[in-house]
Amino acid sequence: MALATPEAHVPDGWGDETRRRLADLTGKKAPTAIELLRADPNGNELSELRSVKLKRLVAGSAEADFFLLFGPGPKIEAVEFVSGSQKLRAAGQVLSTANFQVAFPEGSSARLLRRGILMCSAISGCEAVLFTPNSVKSVN
């Protein structure tokens, strides 16, 4: 699964070194980045851990970005609309009760700020997906 993370595909060669070590350990050629993106079930698993299906919130299609503040439990302590469809501005209440797979060490008092996108489709309903931390480049 480590090779399926975005950090494994950085240009400084870190992923190449990881693939070489994996090949040494397993005796098999480690998958390339393209192979991982096309067929690696662990990559899908990582994406699924960042996703939550929600009830239909609006008629038709819409999407919006939100900030979510996670606290121990984990529980969502705050949700803030960032940008996107005004039809979803009030979706913070639904997002605040969503069950994201976020883990905290036992006894931790840490808070974790994550950015996510809420996508709603007339056909499939709504889904919230947390962006990977390295993909968030600004706060707006």
Dump pLDDT digits (tens) for 33-80: 556 555 555 556 667 778 999 989 999 999 999 999 999 988 999 999
pLDDT category of residue 109 using cuts at 50, 70 and 90: very high
pLDDT classification of 116: cutoffs 50, 70, 90: very high
- The residue with greater pLDDT, 103 or 40, is 103
Q: Is 94 exposed, middle or buried (0-12, 13-18, 19+ CB in 10 A)?
A: middle
Q: Which of 127, 116, 38 is nearest to 81 (CA)?
A: 116
pTM for the model: 0.66
| Residue 62, domain extent | 51-135
End-of-domain residue from the set 34, 49, 64: 49
Q: How far is it, in rounded angstroms, from Cα 115 to Cα 124?
A: 22
Residues 71 and 126 grouped into a single domain: yes
Residue 140 lies in a domain: no
Same domain, 38 and 90: no
Q: How confident is the model at residue 96 (pLDDT cuts 50, 70, 90)?
A: very high
Do 14 and 76 belong to one domain? no
Q: Is 106 exposed, middle or buried (0-12, 13-18, 19+ CB in 10 A)?
A: exposed
Residue 6 confidence (pLDDT): 54
Does 23 share its domain with 66?
Answer: no
Is there a contact between 60 and 81 (Cβ–Cβ < 8 Å)? Answer: no
Domain identity same for 102 and 112? yes
Q: Are residues 64 and 102 in the same domain?
A: yes
Do 45 and 58 have their domain in common? Answer: no
Assess whether 33 and 100 both reside in one domain: no
- How many domains would you assign to the chain? 2
